[in-house]
Every structure is written in structure tokens, then in C-alpha cells.
Amino acid sequence: MADYDINDIKRRMSGAVDNLKTEMSGFRTGRATTAMLEPIVVDAYGSKMPINQVGNLSAPEPRLLTVQVWDGGLTPSVEKAIRDSGLGLNPQAEGTLIRIPVPELNEERRRELTKVAGQYAETARVAVRNVRRDGMEALKKMEKDGEISEDDHKRMSEDVQKATDSHIQTIDTMLADKEKDIMTV
């Protein structure tokens, strides 16, 4: 029974949910938070690096973010990465300090952000379903090889399905909460 481990399946599904939590924390809902910038990657030194590895992120005011870039040569790359991030932010560089004013969200921008949140949630659902598929295939193979009985296969399949349903429900709840948060003026 080395191929099938319900705890490993649950752990992998939880990983997809945790990843979604991280992505959702980066959504701006009106207040400036450094988590908004964390998903951004910067072209630096010939590779892509997370923004928090090229400078210090801070939120000195409720409507302002700053990035203190450690290497002045990377300032244009960081500025471009923020502008191209799809967050609707317009950074202004002052030497190695980049100021990023966080504008109020208008209705149209809020709708766009809810669509992006929905895309993130769907990606997480697909990841959970892929883990489910792997578990189900392992069970079929074990039954075919005579390692488990048909009854064991059915019972274990139900366990995998329950874990899948639970994780999908968590994702749906997170999405509904985030959409409500984004649309709240």
C-alpha cells in the first residue's frame, strides 16, 4: 500500500488551499499592505526573483507602500514589475526608494479583482482535483494488482472524495469571503 496514503493526499490538498490563501492575501481591498506586493517577481541578475528579495517592503501610511531597493541598478526593473503586475498600481521612483500610492478602488476595478480571485480559486480547485485523480488511480492500480479488495477500494475512494469535497468547500468559502471583502466599499 505504498502508493496510497490518505494523509499524504490530504496534505497535498491542504497545500493547494494554503497557496490560495497566500495569493488571496495579496489582493488589495482598499488598504495598503505589503502582502499585495509579495506575488510580484522582478527580473534581476538574469533570473526572476520575488520582490522581497531585492528590497524592503513597507506600508508607512494606509494608502502608501514603499520599496527600498538594495541595488540601485534594479530600481527600473522593480518599478516595471510593479506596473506590470495587474494590481493597478503606479510606482514612482525617487533614487532607490519606490513610492506606490494605493488608489481607492472604483466599481469596475473591484469587479476585475473579483474575476482574478475567481481564477485563483479555480486554479486551486484544479490542483485539489488533480490530487484526487492521483489517489483514485493509485487505488485502481492497487485493486488490479490484488493488494486491496473491491470493498477496500470503494471505502478508500469515499475517503478521498470526502477530503476532496472538504477542500473544495474551503476554497469556495475563501473565494466568497474575498469577493465580499473586495466589493465592500
The CATH number that applies at residue 157 is 1.10.132.20
Look at residue 1 and tell me if it is in a domain.
no
The mean pLDDT of 158-180, rounded to a whole number, is 93
pTM above 0.75, yes or no: no
User: Measured at the alpha carbon of residue 87, what is the angle toward residues 21 and 29, in degrees to the nearest 5?
Assistant: 60
Range of weakest confidence among 10-24, 41-55, 77-91, 103-117? 103-117
Asked whether residue 72 falls in the same domain as residue 95, the answer is: yes
Asked whether residue 87 falls in the same domain as residue 110, the answer is: no
Asked whether residue 12 falls in the same domain as residue 36, the answer is: no
Asked whether residue 163 falls in the same domain as residue 138, the answer is: yes
- Residue 89: which domain range? 31-101
Asked whether residue 167 falls in the same domain as residue 113, the answer is: yes
Look at residue 76 and tell me if it is in a domain.
yes
The mean pLDDT of 121-143, rounded to a whole number, is 93
Distances in whole angstroms, Cα of residue 39 to Cα of each of 8, 60, 96, 151, 157: 27, 20, 21, 45, 35
Domain count within the chain: 2
CA nearest to 9, candidates 171, 161, 141: 161
**pLDDT above 70: residue 150:** yes
Q: In what order do the strands lie in the sheet with 92-94?
A: 55-61, 64-69, 97-101, 92-94
Spatial separation of the C-alpha atoms in residues 104 and 31, rounded to whole Å: 9
Choose the final residue of a domain: 101, 122, 157: 101
The CATH number that applies at residue 37 is 3.30.1360.40
Choose the final residue of a domain: 101, 119, 150: 101
pLDDT at 185 (0 to 100): 62
Choose the final residue of a domain: 101, 133, 158: 101
Asked whether residue 74 falls in the same domain as residue 43, the answer is: yes
Look at residue 125 and tell me if it is in a domain.
yes
150 is written with which cell numbers? Answer: 473491491
